Structure 1
């Protein structure tokens, strides 16, 4: 399948279906492809040296001449964070509402691409057309400004693509979910609903930011000593709630972390948060009495370079937390970040800091819909087809079951790489395409499952062994083999001696013809080094051999 025909409507996820993060959705029709979102996820302990990963866009890169646009639903990293990295491979125009466009331009400026990427701002509730697709932005609520769903109208019917959403009756900043619009498109008829699955196992409703604001005010007012609160920098309603809680308790809010400053700046550029409480800088905050400051920090996910981690490890240039102080985590732990968050909280508690999370107090609500909200929207929209995305496979399967319980006639579970024909006829899986992951490695991108990171992981877990053999023209040793071990225990030198002995024995056992072949000697030497290390330690190290023939 190279080009979608005029007689079919296709859906394909290259990221974000079967996982949480890295969203990349494609719709194909009448020879054209439309992309919704282009996001990242963050590396974990199994990815040494990697902080950011993203979908491999290889499928659509091969068809980029037919890619008519990249439409961003909102400004979260898992929806727009890969644009600066991957746009040079795609070179398609980008469309976003003002806040997402503002956040994106800052990223493009940093990447040196702001003059190359054409970013078109679409007003809230705006309508526009891209090739065979007529699109309409639908205002939702989420944990960031200007979250949008999309009504994608085609000759086969309307697709309702939710993006990330919840139903928050008091979002504090931004508009309410456009319930009337959702009911209207339901009355018009919806072919398919492509929907967020993140909280499908959570009963009830996600909860409101207004409730968190009230709870934070009570919690902060009752504390002594310094207080540090960390949250997602993109959740500006939460950031504002923390600052207001500080002011209400007679404390000065201190913003710590460039991501917070960038987000607030982007919001104010778009006309939001113009009455945000006056904050002071970390240098000034360091000199105030302990009961007169509140630090608003980045680093809720345990990021090593973020403010909260620097404070916990006594590495922050200005700010400190000591025994009797309080650290509040006004956030949830993203799956995969449990270990890094645990290390951070342990470091704080080791300093005598009281740590308060959403387990101890109601200081966080999710930005994604729980089951009651999902049911409500299915009742409003009434799609013919339910296609769950934005979740692990277990979330998507449970979401499909919920949709069937809501009387949706057809459900499709389509993890990344699953090509689905939505129309004509019943929805069906028609093909599977290759999918992969790219890792940001320094200033470049490498395949997450490629040789570079495979070797790095092997080095991390098993160490490295290198051997140099100096031989004459007939392949006979003219000096003892030189062995170097990295990340391998050998305090008494016994292992290195065993490797040298093994290499000498290996050379002696080779035939004259084999000794004349450097490649044969290298391979035999590698096998010898690995065999000896495995016999001693049960490990297979990354092995390198150098042959010097004189």
Structure 2
């Protein structure tokens, strides 16, 4: 009889920050029952994925085994953990479990895509547990930068696994539960087989700071401002939004929320009872009648997103409100690596208006939602697992975290997307490798990262495009001259003639000397015309564009 095994397989989030999707399985090899922890997205950039709306994990392997997936558990409501649930619900069909705030956000996403909201089921915090196949799973509260974050207590026939989710050890988080070391010690009393643990801030050497400590510095800043104050942070950081709003209120300012994501998060936090005592707000219409020095706007767009409220204010107006010289704009946030250019662009646009821009370079106006190195060590010591599996980090984070765990006497391993790990023994071991990657949401269609769509888009963006049209008569002779259309290319080149005219002349000359065999063969003719157009463009403008050839035959 084949022995059963406990496996861990990251499909996203291990070797990168974002797009989290972690699979656990138990059973005989190739017959395991599964649970999925989180199913998130990451965001595109113009360099690597132009025009793409969202990037989702490639779950092809799991879709082929969807009949063995018993449940999806979502640790918290950040987009990189919950954002793909509604996109893949039709493919997976498993029930989704989350705490009340996260469930509220997940149901909104399900409804937007036409899925049943009751597919998302609300679960109370520990000690309640959900039975899913061979697993029993409970939500263990832990602090983070969004309300009601939870680690997962995963009980398996091979022992208990703690999946940390994103976390920090914050005793005073402003909104949501404080970290409770006594509760964690009680849950981890005895034997924990594995701690699968957040690695994001493993390189930060100082203990993390509490959200509560930001209030005085922000209040002092707002009190000293002369014009209108605008502040941005992550919309999901409801505690920070509250801290900012309270600072504005104490400074005698009316508070305005701008941006759909921020409005939605505050609304969800109120609906679910996790947000209390939030200052009264006024509408953007009412704000136009309030003196600038008495206004504080809380806006979306802390990462420089072009469609967010902050970027639109930087370009001119948003909902009839505009920034002016003497106003102040505060980034109460950390710029995620890769977003620097967008943020700097917004900063410079505000600076050109005479707006004073304040960021968090001095560490006074933002604290991270992730545990720093000493806090990670503290969690290790509370849980005392047999093995530590780093997750939620780039490869360098995972490797450093594994080294840290091993140095402190725990078994550890660097596990990246696609590595199926067997956790049944005394140390983690590789069971097999699974092909993983990315799925692009391009408009309303999901496409594979290797399908060539985005690759072709990048090539056109880099090189420009030429369309060549040729008509041949019934005798396979050219009917008139070929003609060209260009996109993204200079109008004239080295000869000072119009590029289109030079292209058409060279293509016409080629057709005049082409043999009958080539003229009768669409594939050969297309390739020859493409080569000729690229050679001409290279000679004229120093680029080899992408070329589309259209051959029409009169029959």
Shorter-chain TM-score tier: over 0.9
- Is 1:514 aligned with 2:518? yes
Q: Deviation at 1:383?
A: 1.4
In structure 1, what is the Cα distance between the partners aligned to 2:42 and 2:186?
Answer: 34
Q: Deviation at 1:361?
A: 5.3
In the superposition, relative to structure 1, how do residues 411 and 535 fare at CA in structure 2: closer, same or farther (>3 Å)? farther
Q: Tell me which residue corresponds to 1:539.
A: 543
In structure 2, what is the Cα distance between the partners aligned to 1:205 and 1:220?
Answer: 27
Q: Tell me which residue corresponds to 1:446.
A: 447
- Structure 1 residues 59-98: aligned runs within 5 Å: 59-98=61-100
- Structure 1 residues 445-524: aligned runs within 5 Å: 445-491=446-492, 492-524=496-528
In structure 2, what is the Cα distance between the partners aligned to 1:352 and 1:57?
Answer: 48
Q: Deviations over 1:147-202 (max 9, x none)?
A: 10011111211111000000012101121113123223443111111111111111
Q: Tell me which residue corresponds to 1:21.
A: 18
- Comparing 372-381 with 416-425, greater Cα deviation is found at 416-425
Question: What's the secondary structure of 1:188's corresponding residue?
Answer: coil
Instruction: Count how many residue pairs are aligned between Structure 1 and Structure 2.
Output: 544
Q: Tell me which residue corresponds to 2:33.
A: 32
- Structure 1 residues 91-106: aligned runs within 5 Å: 91-106=93-108
- Comparing 528-537 with 273-282, greater Cα deviation is found at 528-537
Q: Tell me which residue corresponds to 2:428.
A: 427
Q: Tell me which residue corresponds to 1:346.
A: 348
Q: Deviations over 1:194-228 (max 9, x none)?
A: 11111111111221111112211111111110000
Question: What's the secondary structure of 2:195's corresponding residue?
Answer: strand
In structure 2, what is the Cα distance between the partners aligned to 1:337 and 1:478?
Answer: 52
Q: Tell me which residue corresponds to 1:327.
A: 329
Contact 1:140–1:148, Cα closer than 8 Å, also in 2: yes
Question: What's the secondary structure of 1:215's corresponding residue?
Answer: helix
- Is 1:401 aligned with 2:403? yes
In structure 2, what is the Cα distance between the partners aligned to 1:209 and 1:270?
Answer: 21
Q: Deviation at 1:497?
A: 3.0
Q: Tell me which residue corresponds to 1:275.
A: 277
Q: Deviation at 1:502?
A: 2.8
Question: What's the secondary structure of 1:134's corresponding residue?
Answer: strand
Question: What's the secondary structure of 1:107's corresponding residue?
Answer: helix
In structure 2, what is the Cα distance between the partners aligned to 1:376 and 1:206?
Answer: 12
In structure 1, what is the Cα distance between the partners aligned to 2:10 and 2:429?
Answer: 14
- Structure 1 residues 42-441: aligned runs within 5 Å: 42-46=43-47, 47-115=49-117, 118-125=119-126, 126-360=128-362, 362-408=364-410, 410-441=411-442
Q: Deviations over 1:91-131 (max 9, x none)?
A: 1100000000011111111112135x511111022222111
Contact 1:387–1:400, Cα closer than 8 Å, also in 2: yes
Question: What's the secondary structure of 1:439's corresponding residue?
Answer: strand
Question: What's the secondary structure of 1:152's corresponding residue?
Answer: strand
Q: Tell me which residue corresponds to 1:8.
A: 5
In structure 2, what is the Cα distance between the partners aligned to 1:508 and 1:296?
Answer: 67
Contact 2:125–2:138, Cα closer than 8 Å, also in 1: no
Contact 1:253–1:278, Cα closer than 8 Å, also in 2: yes
In structure 1, what is the Cα distance between the partners aligned to 2:427 and 2:225?
Answer: 59
Q: Deviation at 1:317?
A: 2.6
In structure 2, what is the Cα distance between the partners aligned to 1:474 and 1:432?
Answer: 57
Alignment partner for residue 548 of structure 1, among 542, 549, 552?
552
Q: Deviation at 1:51?
A: 3.0
Contact 1:474–1:512, Cα closer than 8 Å, also in 2: no
In structure 2, what is the Cα distance between the partners aligned to 1:542 and 1:181?
Answer: 61
In structure 2, what is the Cα distance between the partners aligned to 1:167 and 1:433?
Answer: 34
- Comparing 537-546 with 416-425, greater Cα deviation is found at 537-546
Question: What's the secondary structure of 1:187's corresponding residue?
Answer: coil
Question: What's the secondary structure of 1:42's corresponding residue?
Answer: coil
In structure 1, what is the Cα distance between the partners aligned to 2:323 and 2:181?
Answer: 45
Question: What's the secondary structure of 2:8's corresponding residue?
Answer: strand
Contact 1:156–1:424, Cα closer than 8 Å, also in 2: no
Q: Deviation at 1:236?
A: 0.6
TM-score (norm 1): 0.96
Q: Deviation at 1:493?
A: 4.2
In the superposition, relative to structure 1, how do residues 372 and 129 fare at CA in structure 2: closer, same or farther (>3 Å)? same
Runs of 4+ in 1 over 4 A off after TM superposition: none
Q: Deviation at 1:431?
A: 1.5
Contact 2:204–2:372, Cα closer than 8 Å, also in 1: yes
In structure 2, what is the Cα distance between the partners aligned to 1:498 and 1:387?
Answer: 62
Contact 1:465–1:544, Cα closer than 8 Å, also in 2: yes
